[in-house]
Amino acid sequence: MTTIVIKGGTIVDHAGERRGDVLVDSATGVIREVGLSLTGDEVLDATGCFVVPGLVDLHTHLRDPGHEAAETIETGTRAAALGGFTAVMAMPNTDPCTDSGPLVTAMLHRSADALCEVLVSATISLGRQGESLSPMAEMADLGVRLFCDAARGVQDAGFMRRALEYAGSVGAATGLPIVLGQHCEMASLAAGSAMNEGAVATRLGLAGQPAEAEELMIVRDIALARLTGVRVHFQQVSTAGSVAMIRAAKAGGVPVTAEVAPHHFSLTDEACESYDANFKVVPPLRTASDVAAIKEGLADGTIDAIVSGHAPHTPDAKEQAFDEALPGVLGLETALAVSLTELDLPWPTWWRCCPGGLRPSPA
């Protein structure tokens, strides 16, 4: 049986950062040994590279089907592999959106040969309209564990309550860990906005959305998670107020979890001063005090995972006026590097939150 040895790299995992070689079985991909001065049939020189267990990204937009000019399953999973990910959770806001069993099956089938594993998520509501429940049990049977309307928050509190109640039943009936993810944005406060509301938005003459557009949905869903006992996962949290509320909810035993994207702990709304639409993201880049609060939330476990938030668009969609450009930034190739650069956390803490999105995968 032939082997590959990954030599001379810096291994980064739960145990910390150290020099070491990794011996891999080339047929199965299984790691045989981690140590120093290992030999194998084939040598991969990893000098100057980080060697990490396969990372899992909980928030990837593959744009396929429907927006293949921006990204495809093939190009997206290549970017993932380049960034150290062996599995990505594909968001369901494709065209058509993933809101039925056949569409889940098609996605699984089409991604079977991709360069990394593609985990398929599906919508909470049919057509992401926030009105009628998607067939969650049918899609759970096919392997879906995360349901979210992706890039669109569920606006109606009554509908979100029903979705949580039903998801709770699907979880109980199947014994599967079913989770509802929420894009935290109240449309009525965020409508027409291009960036964070504040002094920078005023100066730039751009419509902003207040932190409260996110926080109102978080406070609502904490209440609904408490009411139903069903877990809500807050996607791409961006404000200090959100972190504080999630911390308090967790302390009170409410079943909530949260993720953040690297741009929300590495950049502020001042980046928008260039009017470069690469800095237009949803939720928007916030302020220095929000960045600090997110770092604290990562350090104390309030935030469970870092995700790439990978949201590609064509250059044409980005080389537009800032208020007309589509929101979203690339992340798969840079998530690990930005996290390593920006976060000054003790190793066990870093590892816990970094690979949560970036968590070592059994896959």
Q: Running DSSP on this structure, what letter comes out for residue 122?
A: B
User: DSSP label at 54?
Assistant: P
Q: How far apart are CA 8 and CA 45, in angstroms?
A: 6
Rounded least distance, CB 292 to another protein, Å: 18
33 versus 319: smaller Cβ distance to another protein: 319
Cβ nearer to another protein, comparing 4 with 207: 207
Nearer to another protein, 106 or 207 (CB): 207
What are the tokens at 22? 């990794």
221: nearest Cα among 260, 254, 176, 187: 254
Alpha carbons 288 and 6: distance in angstroms, whole number? 40
Q: Which is nearer to another protein, 158 or 192 (CB)?
A: 192
Shortest Cβ 195–another protein spacing (Å)? 10
Q: How far is the CB of 274 from another protein (least distance, A)?
A: 8
CA distance 295 to 125: 32
Please say which residue, 131 or 324, places its beta carbon nearer to another protein.
Answer: 324
Shortest reach from residue 200's CB to another protein, in Å: 8
> CB 289 → another protein: shortest distance, Å?
13
CB 338 within 8 A of CB 94: no
Dihedral sign computed on CA atoms, order 51, 56, 57, 62: positive
In the 8-state DSSP scheme, what is residue 150? S
Binding site for another protein (CB under 8 A): 197-199, 201-208, 210, 274-276, 316, 319-324
Nearer to another protein, 25 or 323 (CB): 323
Q: How far apart are alpha carbons 35 and 19 in whole angstroms? A: 9
For 18, counting Cβ atoms within 10 Å of its Cβ (0-12 exposed, 13-18 middle, 19+ buried), the class is: exposed
Nearer to another protein, 327 or 331 (CB): 327
Minimum distance, C-beta of residue 83 to another protein, in the bound complex (Å): 28
Least distance between another protein and beta carbon 93 (Å):
22
Question: Phi, psi at residue 298, to the nearest 5°?
Answer: -70, -40
Nearer to another protein among residue 214 and residue 259 (C-beta)? 214
Before 65, cis peptide (omega within 30)? Answer: yes
**Cα–Cα distance list, 34 to 15, 198, 215 (Å):** 12, 50, 45
Sign of the torsion angle spanned by Cα atoms 66, 283, 292, 202: positive
- Shortest separation between residue 207's beta carbon and another protein, angstroms: 8
Q: Tokens at residue 158, please?
A: 């009554």
Cα 249 to Cα 18: distance, rounded to the nearest angstrom? 37
| Least distance (Å) between residue 201 CB and another protein | 7
- Please identify, using beta-carbon distances, which residue of 149 and 185 lies nearer to another protein: 185
With CA atoms as reference, report the closest residue to 330 among 341, 351, 316, 314.
314
